[in-house]
């Protein structure tokens, strides 16, 4: 080949590379900044994956596309009408009747009826959906049997008496049922879901009844929501367009916020000090406890933690205040009890429930258990799903137990994908766990993880459980009086974190956030932001 | 030449077979399963059983493997368990972006690395040489985890020249391409320098000088061309590693390439996603090596591909 040909070929190659590159750019081109609609730029740390509200936990996208029967206003602590305009319950607390909103259209113009809610409830428990949230409806008549495939889905205790009356029959009275309807039980468009299968939530196919529609979706990159003119409350929705940018790296999202590319973000722990010192950023900073509990399970199935004195000793040796103020430092709230503040059943520290930090008492309990000064104490391993945060907490606990009790503790940080099966199998002597609230009633955490009926057979061999605890939680479910319910939850907590000592509660994480001054964001304690109530002033 | 290409492409078959078998076996033997979240309530056993049956996970590993390969022959990489999207779709959306980023990174690496290596060799043990090799050392040593946030801080937040992250405009590609290319640039600079130092001591270079060929022509036509052979050898794996190894850069700059799918697939035990990504990467690596072999023949006419 002579030189000219080589030069020619090189040039062709270069042109091809550039052409390829520019085409790839064109394919992934960012939406131009529109001057027209009121737009918010919001950050998502991961892809929403499954948007169908019957097939997944509710995230930012689904919560703003679909409408459940009721809403929950955390600031006023009030349940308010959404898909249902009013409701009533039979005297025995079993049959709930909801009046479905009239003159309300799906985004494709189809009128919305009670049958759409029936279908939405059925979809959650339908074994074909394989929803991780199906257990949340197990209080409804036949729900568990439907999910297990024992009875057909139309036997679920949810029926449409007419176009605008929905009736839900429960298996047992449940005081928490109504508020739990604020984050599950969304109406679904049967005709679209049946026609397109799992592809029904793509922007081309999707039909919604919520405040927003899905205008475009590029997985792992950008989802765009646009105001839905058919939404019953569209007149009050001020932000017309929401760009949901998916940015996995928190520090990158923070930089985008500082560069004006995002309107609100969670502040990474390593930036907290800087943000709080900065005159501008500190004025944009808010910290709010989240409805999440972080704790450690004891493996009560084998020595040494089969002895309640040892468990109490370990609990009393943990200085949670130091843990949150010196180690995690993210505004976490230390706790000796498990239900987060802001839910029915939160136990105020003044009630004296739980085991506070008391190293002398801890050593006394350990000695009483037969290990004075930690002598003869066997080697124990504590497990956690590995990330930097969990590791730093585990290391702090390890050093507290070594200092205060004189015992050796080994740490075992496990990759997240393998963690679940190892802990269910009872692999570790202690292991880390967290639980977020889907509705603001302690029932969700007590019945959700500590009630023996939700534990597998293996889990029952190593997780603490008690008939008395189960009875208290069942009784609270039937107690419509909030005062009585709180009293029952308090007794249950006393068993769980003091007398029985099944777990060591650690802290409630905080939502540390910066928000641009022009964005009026309503702080809700639950996981899902409700964009339709937010406003932008410019 | 043609028969060489055909033969090499046929070699892809056993390579893919062996890699797919190893990946498949390793993946299924790692603890954990795709239908179990961490720190969440696990699915009821009946639901897990149904899902496992639906995706055929109860069959023996060889049966599952054969079924996977059958679908693969039809060009079907299967559905992701986590998102229920098809893996084909994920590759189709992620690969062009990762490949473009890798290509831009390679352009950066070549256009910095080779001139630096040449300059360094021609000025051996002088200031330019020391400076270039210091740069090469720094380029190899500083990971993207460190350099990328530093670049963002300087060029986006302080100077305001470039957007912080994401993909779609040429401005957004500048920082990731440089960060991705700078490590390989350092490798290429060192390699070019060493190879160049060897070549410029050869007899034919002295002959060319004696004949009065201009120095510039000697450097470019006679020395550099021959010095590039070892450099070309590493280009194939280097390019493949830049396409596949951009996981960190893609994450920091929020680029929706293949890296995110790969990491997500592994951590959620999303078997079809893991397999799909590994196979695409394998394919890429083999093709890059083939391209290198073809490039040899072009640079050095003495090499015959038969």
Searching chain B, which residue's CA lies closest to the CA of residue A459? B42
A336 within domain boundaries: yes
Q: Do residues A495 and A346 share a domain?
A: yes
Q: Is the per-residue pLDDT at A32 higher than 70?
A: no
Q: Residue range B161-187: average pLDDT?
A: 93
The phi, psi pair for B14, rounded to 5°, reads -60, -35
What one-character DSSP code corresponds to residue A153?
G
Q: What is the pLDDT of residue A441?
A: 93
- The answer to whether the CB atoms of A456 and B45 lie below 8 A apart is yes
Distance CA A495, CA A394 (A): 25
| CATH number, domain with residue A79 | 3.90.76.10
Q: Is the per-residue pLDDT at B38 higher than 80?
A: no
Q: Residue range A401-414: average pLDDT?
A: 95
B239 CB-near residues (< 8 Å, 6+ apart): B102, B103, B106, B288
The phi, psi pair for A58, rounded to 5°, reads -80, 125
A411 CB-near residues (< 8 Å, 6+ apart): A381, A382, A384, A391, A394, A395, A398
How near does any CA of chain A get to the CA of B14, in Å?
Answer: 30
Q: Are A491 and A509 in contact (CB under 8 A)?
A: no
Q: What is the pLDDT of residue A314?
A: 97
pLDDT-wise least confident of A156-170, A404-418, A491-505, B217-231? B217-231
- The answer to whether the CB atoms of B168 and A418 lie below 8 A apart is no
What is the H or E stretch that residue A18 is in? Answer: helix A3-27
Q: If we measure between CA atoms, which residue out of A345, A367, A391 comes closest to residue A493? A: A345
Partner A contacted by B96 (CB < 8 A):
yes
Helix residue ranges, H only, A305-369: 308-316, 320-322, 359-368
A59 CB-near residues (< 8 Å, 6+ apart): A44, A48, A527, A528
Nearest to B268 among A198, A417, A433 (CB): A417
Domain end call among A195, A215, A242? A195
Q: What is the pLDDT of residue A4?
A: 52
Q: What is the pLDDT of residue A27?
A: 41
- The answer to whether the CB atoms of A28 and B44 lie below 8 A apart is no
Q: Is the per-residue pLDDT at A525 higher than 70?
A: no
Searching chain B, which residue's CA lies closest to the CA of residue A415? B267
Contacts of A131 in chain B (CB under 8 A): 47
pLDDT band, very low/low/confident/very high, at A6 (cuts 50, 70, 90): low
How near does any CA of chain B get to the CA of A47, in Å?
Answer: 9
Distance CA A261, CA A245 (A): 10
How near does any CA of chain A get to the CA of B36, in Å?
Answer: 7
Partner A contacted by B233 (CB < 8 A):
no
Contacts of A419 in chain B (CB under 8 A): 32, 38-39
Q: If we measure between CA atoms, which residue out of A188, A243, A248 comes closest to residue A65? A: A188
Distance CA A476, CA A2 (A): 88
- The answer to whether the CB atoms of B163 and A218 lie below 8 A apart is no
User: Across the A/B interface, how many CB contacts are shorter than 8 Å?
Assistant: 164
Chain mean pLDDT for chain A: 91
**CA angle, corner A497, sides to A135 and A330, nearest 5?**
80
Q: What is the pLDDT of residue B239?
A: 85
Q: Residue range A464-480: average pLDDT?
A: 94
Report ipTM for this prediction: 0.88
Q: Do residues A344 and A485 share a domain?
A: yes
Beta pairing partners, A510 = A289
Q: Are A180 and A107 in contact (CB under 8 A)?
A: no
A443 within domain boundaries: yes
Q: Is the per-residue pLDDT at A22 higher than 70?
A: no
Query: What's the start-to-end Cα distance of chain A, in Å?
Result: 64
Cβ neighbours of A17 (radius 10 Å): 15
Q: Which two tokens stand for residue A90?
A: 């039979």
pLDDT digits (tens, 9 = 90+) for B92-142: 999 999 999 999 999 999 999 999 999 999 998 999 999 998 988 888 888
A400 within domain boundaries: yes
How near does any CA of chain B get to the CA of A172, in Å?
Answer: 21
Beta pairing partners, A434 = A294
Residue A234 DSSP SS3: helix
- The answer to whether the CB atoms of A418 and B83 lie below 8 A apart is no
Q: Residue range A61-69: average pLDDT?
A: 96
A160 within domain boundaries: yes
Q: What is the pLDDT of residue A2?
A: 52
- The answer to whether the CB atoms of A220 and B97 lie below 8 A apart is no
- The answer to whether the CB atoms of B164 and A219 lie below 8 A apart is no
How near does any CA of chain B get to the CA of A11, in Å?
Answer: 14
**CA angle, corner A248, sides to A242 and A254, nearest 5?**
70
Nearest to A434 among B39, B99, B173 (CB): B39
Substitution target from A246, A257, A259 for chain B, most B beta carbons within 10 A: A259
Q: Are A394 and A413 in contact (CB under 8 A)?
A: yes
**CA angle, corner B132, sides to B131 and B134, nearest 5?**
65
- pLDDT exceeding 70 applies to what percent of chain A? 93
Q: Do residues A316 and A430 share a domain?
A: yes
pLDDT-wise least confident of A236-250, A263-277, B3-17? B3-17
Task: Look at the alpha carbons of A95, A100, A106, A110 in this order and tell me if their dihedral is positive or negative.
Answer: positive
pLDDT digits (tens, 9 = 90+) for B11-32: 888 988 999 999 999 998 888 7
Distance CA A248, CA A259 (A): 17
Structural domain count, chain A: 2
- The answer to whether the CB atoms of A261 and B157 lie below 8 A apart is no
| CATH number, domain with residue A487 | 3.10.105.10
- The answer to whether the CB atoms of A248 and B50 lie below 8 A apart is no
Residue A126 DSSP SS3: coil
Structural domain boundaries in chain B: 89-254+287-299
A206 within domain boundaries: no
Q: Is A11 exposed, middle or buried (0-12, 13-18, 19+ CB in 10 A)?
A: exposed
Chain mean pLDDT for chain B: 88
What one-character DSSP code corresponds to residue B165?
S
Nearest to A449 among B41, B103, B256 (CB): B41
What is the H or E stretch that residue B199 is in? Answer: helix B170-199
Q: What is the pLDDT of residue A29?
A: 40
- The answer to whether the CB atoms of A130 and B269 lie below 8 A apart is no
How near does any CA of chain A get to the CA of B31, in Å?
Answer: 5
How near does any CA of chain A get to the CA of B61, in Å?
Answer: 19
Q: Residue range A320-331: average pLDDT?
A: 93
pLDDT band, very low/low/confident/very high, at B7 (cuts 50, 70, 90): confident
Contacts of A256 in chain B (CB under 8 A): 164-165
Query: What's the start-to-end Cα distance of chain B, in Å?
Result: 6
Q: Is the per-residue pLDDT at A404 higher than 80?
A: yes
Q: Are A519 and A263 in contact (CB under 8 A)?
A: yes
- The boundaries of the domain holding residue A19 are 7-31+50-195
Contacts of A418 in chain B (CB under 8 A): 30-32
Query: Is the bond preceding B188 in cis, omega lying within 30 degrees of 0?
Result: no
Searching chain A, which residue's CA lies closest to the CA of residue B261? A220
Q: Is the per-residue pLDDT at B305 higher than 70?
A: no
- The answer to whether the CB atoms of B38 and A417 lie below 8 A apart is yes
pLDDT band, very low/low/confident/very high, at A26 (cuts 50, 70, 90): very low
Q: Residue range A339-347: average pLDDT?
A: 93
- The answer to whether the CB atoms of A28 and B269 lie below 8 A apart is no
Q: Residue range B241-268: average pLDDT?
A: 88
pLDDT-wise least confident of A4-13, A111-120, A314-323? A4-13
- pLDDT exceeding 70 applies to what percent of chain B? 96
Q: Residue range B266-288: average pLDDT?
A: 89
Nearest to B163 among A29, A248, A261 (CB): A261
Q: Do residues A16 and A141 share a domain?
A: yes
Domain B89-254+287-299, CATH number (from 1.10.3720.10, 3.40.50.2000, 3.40.50.720, 2.40.30.170): 1.10.3720.10
Q: Are A299 and A426 in contact (CB under 8 A)?
A: yes
Nearest to A132 among B37, B169, B267 (CB): B37
Q: Are A373 and A400 in contact (CB under 8 A)?
A: no
Q: Is the per-residue pLDDT at A433 higher than 70?
A: yes
A537 within domain boundaries: no
- The answer to whether the CB atoms of A251 and B45 lie below 8 A apart is no
Substitution target from B166, B261, B267, B269 for chain A, most A beta carbons within 10 A: B166
- The answer to whether the CB atoms of A220 and B100 lie below 8 A apart is no
Q: Which two tokens stand for residue B180?
A: 């991705």
Distance CA A414, CA A200 (A): 37
Helices (H) and strands (E) in chain B, counts: 13, 0
Q: What is the pLDDT of residue A14?
A: 53
Distance CA A257, CA A41 (A): 9
Question: What does each C-alpha distance from B219 to A309, A486, B119 come to in angstroms?
Answer: 81, 85, 10
What one-character DSSP code corresponds to residue A215?
E
Partner A contacted by B160 (CB < 8 A):
yes
Distance CA A127, CA B97 (A): 37
Nearest to B252 among A132, A249, A385 (CB): A249
Distance CA B233, CA B201 (A): 22
- pLDDT exceeding 90 applies to what percent of chain B? 48
Residue window 22-51, chain B: list those with CB within 8 Å of chain A.
30-33, 36-47, 50-51
Q: Is the per-residue pLDDT at B162 higher than 60?
A: yes
Q: Residue range B286-301: average pLDDT?
A: 80
Distance CA A107, CA A188 (A): 12
Domain end call among A174, A195, A216? A195
- The answer to whether the CB atoms of A417 and B51 lie below 8 A apart is no
**CA angle, corner B248, sides to B247 and B250, nearest 5?**
65
Domain end call among A139, A167, A195? A195
Three state DSSP letters for A428-458 = CCEEEEEEECCCCECHHHHHHHHCHHHCCHH
Contacts of B253 in chain A (CB under 8 A): 252
Q: Residue range A234-241: average pLDDT?
A: 96
Nearest to A256 among B43, B164, B251 (CB): B164
How near does any CA of chain B get to the CA of A196, in Å?
Answer: 13
Cβ neighbours of A14 (radius 10 Å): 11
Question: What does each C-alpha distance from B130 to A89, B79, B195, B200 come to in angstroms?
Answer: 83, 53, 17, 19
- The answer to whether the CB atoms of B157 and A256 lie below 8 A apart is no
């Amino acid at each position: 080949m002579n030189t000219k040909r080589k030069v020619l070929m090189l040039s062709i190659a270069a042109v091809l590379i550039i052409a390829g590159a520019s085409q790839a750019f064109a394919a992934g081109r960012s939406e131009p900044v529109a001057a027209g609609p009121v737009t918010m730029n919001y950050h998502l740390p991961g892809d929403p994956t499954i948007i169908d509200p019957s097939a997944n936990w509710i995230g930012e996208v689904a919560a703003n596309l679909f409408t459940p029967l009721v809403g929950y206003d955390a600031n006023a602590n009030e349940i308010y009408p959404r898909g249902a305009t009013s409701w009533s319950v039979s005297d025995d607390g079993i049959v709930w009747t909801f009046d479905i909103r009239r003159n309300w259209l799906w985004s494709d113009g189809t009128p919305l009826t009670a049958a759409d809610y029936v279908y939405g409830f059925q979809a959650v428990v339908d074994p074909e959906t394989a929803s991780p949230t199906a257990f949340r409806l197990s209080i409804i008549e036949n729900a568990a049997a439907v999910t297990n495939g024992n009875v057909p889905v139309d036997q679920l205790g949810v029926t449409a008496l007419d176009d605008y009356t929905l009736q839900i029959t429960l298996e047992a009275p449940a005081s928490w049922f109504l508020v739990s309807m604020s984050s599950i039980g969304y109406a679904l468009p049967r005709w679209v879901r049946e026609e397109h299968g799992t592809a029904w939530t793509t922007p081309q196919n999707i039909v919604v009844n919520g405040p927003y529609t899905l205008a475009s979706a590029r997985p792992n990159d950008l989802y765009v929501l646009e105001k839905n003119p058919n939404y019953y409350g569209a007149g009050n929705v001020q932000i017309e367009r929401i760009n949901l940018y998916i940015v996995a790296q928190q520090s990158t999202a923070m930089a985008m916020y500082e560069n004006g590319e995002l309107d609100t973000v969670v502040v990474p722990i390593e930036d907290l000090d800087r943000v709080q010192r900065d005159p501008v950023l500190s004025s944009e900073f808010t910290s709010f406890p989240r409805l999440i509990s972080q704790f450690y399970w004891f493996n009560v199935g084998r020595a040494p933690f089969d002895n309640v004195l040892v468990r109490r000793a370990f609990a009393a040796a943990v200085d949670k205040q130091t843990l949150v103020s010196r180690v995690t430092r993210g505004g976490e709230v230390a706790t000796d009890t498990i239900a987060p503040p802001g839910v029915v059943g939160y136990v105020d520290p003044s009630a004296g429930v739980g085991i506070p930090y008391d190293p002398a008492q801890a050593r006394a309990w350990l000695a009483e258990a037969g290990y004075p000064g930690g002598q003869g104490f066997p080697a124990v391993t504590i497990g956690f799903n590995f990330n930097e945060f969990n590791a730093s907490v585990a290391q702090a606990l390890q050093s507290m137990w070594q200092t205060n009790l004189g015992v050796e503790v080994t740490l075992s940080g496990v990759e997240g994908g393998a963690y679940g099966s190892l802990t269910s199998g009872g692999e570790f002597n202690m292991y880390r766990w967290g639980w977020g609230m889907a509705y603001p009633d302690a029932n969700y955490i007590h019945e959700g993880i500590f009630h023996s009926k939700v534990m597998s057979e293996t889990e029952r061999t190593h997780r603490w459980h008690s008939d008395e605890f189960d009875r208290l939680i069942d009784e609270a479910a039937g107690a419509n009086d909030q005062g009585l319910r709180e009293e029952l939850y308090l007794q249950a907590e006393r068993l769980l974190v003091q007398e029985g000592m099944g777990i060591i509660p650690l802290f409630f994480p905080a939502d540390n956030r910066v928000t641009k001054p022009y964005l009026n964001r309503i702080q809700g304690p639950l996981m899902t932001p409700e964009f339709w109530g937010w406003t932008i002033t410019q | 030449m043609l028969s060489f290409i055909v033969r090499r492409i046929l070699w892809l078959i056993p390579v893919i077979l062996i890699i797919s078998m190893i990946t498949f076996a390793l993946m299924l033997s790692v603890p954990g399963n795709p239908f179990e979240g961490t720190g969440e309530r696990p699915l009821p056993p009946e639901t897990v059983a149904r899902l496992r049956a639906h995706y055929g996970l109860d069959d023996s590993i060889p049966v599952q493997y054969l079924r996977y390969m059958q679908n693969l022959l039809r060009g079907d990489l299967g559905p992701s368990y986590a998102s229920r999207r098809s893996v084909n779709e994920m590759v189709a959306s992620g690969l062009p972006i990762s490949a473009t980023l890798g290509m831009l990174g390679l352009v950066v690496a070549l256009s910095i690395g080779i001139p630096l290596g040449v300059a360094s060799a021609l000025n051996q043990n002088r200031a330019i040489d020391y400076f270039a090799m210091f740069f090469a050392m720094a380029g190899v040593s500083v990971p993207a985890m460190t350099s990328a946030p530093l670049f963002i801080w300087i060029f986006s937040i302080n100077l305001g020249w470039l957007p912080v992250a994401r993909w779609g405009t040429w401005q957004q590609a500048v920082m990731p391409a440089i960060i991705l290319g700078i490590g390989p640039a350092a490798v290429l600079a060192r390699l070019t320098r060493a190879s160049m130092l060897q070549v410029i001591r050869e007899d034919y270079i002295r002959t060319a000088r004696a004949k009065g060929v201009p120095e510039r022509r000697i450097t470019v036509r006679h020395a550099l061309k021959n010095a590039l052979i070892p450099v070309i050898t590493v280009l194939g794996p280097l390019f493949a590693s830049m396409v596949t190894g951009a996981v960190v850069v893609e994450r920091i700059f929020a680029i929706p390439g293949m890296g995110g799918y790969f990491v997500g697939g592994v951590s959620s035990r999303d078997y079809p996603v893991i397999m799909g990504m590994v196979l695409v990467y394998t394919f890429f690596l083999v093709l890059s090596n083939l391209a290198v072999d073809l490039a040899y023949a072009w640079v050095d006419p003495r090499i015959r591909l038969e």
